[in-house]
Amino acid sequence: MAYSSKVVDHYEHPRNVGSLDKNDVNVGTGIVGAPECGDVMKLQIKCDAAGRIVDAKFKTFGCGSAIASSSLATEWVKGKTVDEALQIKNTEIVKELSLPPVKIHCSVLAEDAIRAAIEDYRSKQSRLAGAETAAAGSR
Torsion of CA 50, 53, 55, 56, to 10 degrees: 150
Q: Which of residues 35 and 137 has its CB atom nearest to other proteins in the complex?
A: 35
* SS3 state at 91: helix
Q: Which of 78, 97, 88 is nearest to 20 (CA)?
A: 78
Mask for 23-62, x = binds other proteins (CB under 8 A): --------xxxxxxxxxxxx----------------xxxx
- Min dist CB 128 to other proteins, Å, is 24
Asked if 116 is part of the footprint of other proteins (rule: CB under 8 A), the reply reads: yes
- Residue 30 and residue 27: Cα distance in Å, rounded? 10
Asked if 72 is part of the footprint of other proteins (rule: CB under 8 A), the reply reads: no
Confirm whether 47 is a catalytic residue.
no
Give CA separation, 83 vs 4, 117, 118, in Å.
Answer: 30, 12, 9
Give residues in contact with other proteins (CB under 8 A).
3, 8, 11, 14, 17, 19, 31-42, 59-64, 66-67, 102, 105, 108-109, 112, 116
